[in-house]
Amino acid sequence: MKIEENKVSRRKLVGWLGVLSLFAAAGSAFKPWNKKAATPKTVKMLTRDGKLVEIDANLLASNRKRISDNELQQWVNKK
């Protein structure tokens, strides 16, 4: 009789684990995992007068190139 009772308790355990896994799967479907994707990406840029501003990355052109330190210093001093 004890062997049959163990089988029933194992079946209950497996059943409960299945139910819990279903709840976990359903909960993960409604929870947004990537919160960074929801926030707009901003880029810090320097203005001519030396102020640091944040600009939305979608507003920038995609064909950007890096400038040298000398070019940056000349650009700021042109003011």
The mean pLDDT values, 10 residues at a time, for the chain of 79 residues are 67 87 79 62 86 87 80 77
What pLDDT score does 52 carry? Answer: 94
Q: Which amino acid is at 29?
A: A
44 in the same domain as 16: no
Q: State the Rg of the chain over Cα.
A: 29
Question: Do 60 and 42 lie in a common domain?
Answer: yes
Number of compact structural domains in the chain: 2
Domain extent for 15 = 2-31
Whether 24 and 49 share a structural domain: no
27 and 42 part of one domain: no
Q: Are 53 and 45 in contact (CB under 8 A)?
A: yes
Instruction: Please list, in sequence order, all residues whose beta carbon lies within 8 angstroms of the beta carbon of residue 57, skipping any fewer than 6 positions away.
Output: 40, 41, 42, 43
